[in-house]
Structure 1
Amino acid sequence: MGKQKQMAQTRNKADGRQKQNDRRNGKGRPQQNNGRRKEQHDAQQDKNQSVDNAEFIFGIHAATEALKGETQINKVWLQSGLQDKTRNELTTLAKKRGLIIQDAPKAKLDELTDGQNHQGVVLSIAAYAYASIDDMFALAAEKDEAPFILILDSIEDPHNLGSILRTADAAGVHGVIIPKRRAVQLTSTVAKTSTGAIEHVPVARVTNLVQTVEKLKERGLWVFGTDMDGTDYRRWDAKGATALIIGNEGKGISPLLKKTVDETLSIPMIGHVQSLNASVAASLLIYQGFNSRNPL
């Protein structure tokens, strides 16, 4: 019995030392504050997301198109002393939609737009709503046209995306597909550069471009991409259901995505510079598609 009692005392001492170590290491503490910490963490996340989702449209053309369209607008900021004609047009459009109109000095609008050229008007809007690929097919059907869809492989410059949207709208493209990651999304800079085209061209975000292309091919689209060794783009016939892939500004189309195309196209160059800005290359290709679909 004496030996058993000694062993029990040894175990109790060991347990006591373990509990002390646990307390030092933060283990075994009461958990009643975990719920409160989680609530605080979730609230901070929500706050961060709200900041991230805050967007502004600025510039006369972009703001006018947004007010005429269906964009969810929270508030209209007009610069004090703005020219009467412009102010009256914007005010009329805003009042038709029951929007709040706020006069503000130029310094305030400079602050909202990070010093960019706002031309005296800024719209506070909800996060941009993206379309679905089905919306693009529906738009083509509504116009009784074969789908013409643009796929952008990791375009990073918002000015390039805005310019491409502007050309896409002018040439009757039925929609633009962009990846959710490693690419520019719809932002106020894109909206400003597009001069309102963002309101008229459906833009869809997808997780995997390769899988998306395969699904488009299943729906009857022929898929074309760009490559230095491709067919001269001037011979491209884009009649019928067509998708065109424009590659990243520096790397072009990713290797896996390039394997999915039915044919590659190239833009001949005879000068010293053997590359074009992504939006310029896209414009040439889009309008070749337009020309072949709408011959004189």
Structure 2
Amino acid sequence: MRHWYKEKARTERIAREDRGGARRPAPARQRRSEDAPEYIGGRNPVLEALQAGVPSNALYVAQRVDNDDRVRDSIRIAAERGIALLEVSRDKLDRLTEGAVHQGVALQIPAYDYAHPSDLVELAQDAAEVPLIVALDSVTDPRNLGAIARSATAFGAHGLLIPSRRSAGVTGGAWKTSAGTLATMRVARAANLTAALREYREAGLFVIGLDGAGETDIGDVDLLAEPLVVVVGSEGKGLSRLVREQCDVVTRIPMQAAAESLNAGVAAGVALYEVARHRRL
């Protein structure tokens, strides 16, 4: 057994990355700056974000919008929190949300303040809990990131770890799918995911990779109650070679042959449920 709780000093050696938001393309083929704000569009996502206390700069409401309970509640919460309320044209909302479905409302949020990889272990240590971290390997769809955040919150994970490159970041799309859970689920970024996983192992955590080509069913893995990092690979390519080499076990979700694979969000939810079940035994 790896004694993670004796290794707090060693976790501090995990590389510290610059804080800031992930870059993503803008309509004019430009890159967003590191500190550019993001936008959450849609009546339910905006209301959920406001109710969850997501840090927000401004609430944009379309002119002559159909004013239902969700819009009224969003305006009320924004006013109570001192968030700027701006009435704009639908064309401007389309531009702000980059053509996403906004239903006449959008919430401007500051660029996400990413944690350091070692912070996630410290969260578990401070709570006197066995660490459970979810790492994403080449998961590029922000909706999958948001869905994984929901599952991670539901099943008691202490945070998500994503690489700085070739990965979805905490964007408006991720916030929308997370249904507000990203307000409490910490996300850390690593300049080198493989190196961060190696540091986690040195700190006493076990690393299990989730891949359709895994050699062991997730329910048969005997490490699920231990300090753990669950690595979720992309739906198409699975785990990268270097990440796979850092795994103590590469596991799979048993399923009918007719279903070749699950998307990353669904697969993470199934795996985290199994981890939570083992930890209750």
Task: Give yes or no for contact 1:162–1:189 (8 Å, CA) kept in 2.
Answer: yes
Residue number among 277, 289, 293 corresponding to 2:263 in the alignment:
277
Shift in Å, 1:84: 4.6
Task: Give yes or no for contact 1:236–1:288 (8 Å, CA) kept in 2.
Answer: no
CA pair 120-220 structure 1, distance change in 2 beyond 3 A: same
Matched ranges for 1:235-250 at <5 A? 235-237=220-222, 238-250=224-236
Aligned to 1:94: 78
Shift in Å, 1:70: 5.4
Residue number among 34, 39, 42 corresponding to 1:56 in the alignment:
39
Aligned to 1:75: 58
User: Bigger CA drift: 168-177 or 60-69?
Assistant: 60-69
Aligned to 1:172: 156
State the secondary structure of the residue aligned to 1:182: coil
Matched ranges for 1:38-49 at <5 A? 49=32
Task: Give yes or no for contact 1:156–1:249 (8 Å, CA) kept in 2.
Answer: no
State the secondary structure of the residue aligned to 1:90: helix
Deviations 1:90-132 (A, max 9, x none): 1232122211111234443233223322233211122111122
For 1:97, the aligned partner's letter is R
State the secondary structure of the residue aligned to 1:115: coil
TM-align CA RMSD:
2.3
Matched, 1:290 2:273: no
Q: 2:49 and 2:268 mapped to 1: Cα distance?
A: 25
Q: 1:212 and 1:122 mapped to 2: Cα distance?
A: 35
Residue number among 226, 231, 234 corresponding to 2:216 in the alignment:
231
CA pair 60-141 structure 1, distance change in 2 beyond 3 A: farther
For 1:73, the aligned partner's letter is S
Q: How many residues align?
A: 249
Deviations 1:232-286 (A, max 9, x none): 1122341131111111222111111111111121122332332222222111111
State the secondary structure of the residue aligned to 1:169: helix
CA pair 64-133 structure 1, distance change in 2 beyond 3 A: farther
Aligned to 2:21: none
For 1:183, the aligned partner's letter is S
State the secondary structure of the residue aligned to 2:111: coil
Deviations 1:169-216 (A, max 9, x none): 111211010000111211111111112122121111101111111111
Aligned to 2:49: 66
Q: 1:288 and 1:48 mapped to 2: Cα distance?
A: 39
Deviations 1:14-54 (A, max 9, x none): xxxxxxxxxxxxxxxxxxxxxxxxxxxxxxxxx96549823
User: Bigger CA drift: 170-179 or 115-124?
Assistant: 115-124
| Runs (5+) with no aligned partner, structure 1 | 1-46
| Runs (5+) with no aligned partner, structure 2 | 1-29
For 1:247, the aligned partner's letter is G
For 2:254, the aligned partner's letter is P
Q: After TM superposition, which residue ranges in structure 1, 4 or more long, deviate above 6 angstroms?
A: none
State the secondary structure of the residue aligned to 1:205: strand
State the secondary structure of the residue aligned to 1:73: coil
For 2:135, the aligned partner's letter is I
Matched, 1:189 2:173: yes
| TM-score, with structure 1 as normaliser | 0.76
Task: Give yes or no for contact 2:54–2:180 (8 Å, CA) kept in 1.
Answer: no
Task: Give yes or no for contact 2:44–2:70 (8 Å, CA) kept in 1.
Answer: no
CA pair 98-162 structure 1, distance change in 2 beyond 3 A: same
Q: 1:155 and 1:161 mapped to 2: Cα distance?
A: 7
Aligned to 1:140: 124
Q: 1:51 and 1:254 mapped to 2: Cα distance?
A: 27
Residue number among 109, 115, 118 corresponding to 1:131 in the alignment:
115
| TM-score, with structure 2 as normaliser | 0.80
State the secondary structure of the residue aligned to 2:57: strand
User: Bigger CA drift: 99-108 or 252-261?
Assistant: 99-108
Q: 2:106 and 2:233 mapped to 1: Cα distance?
A: 32
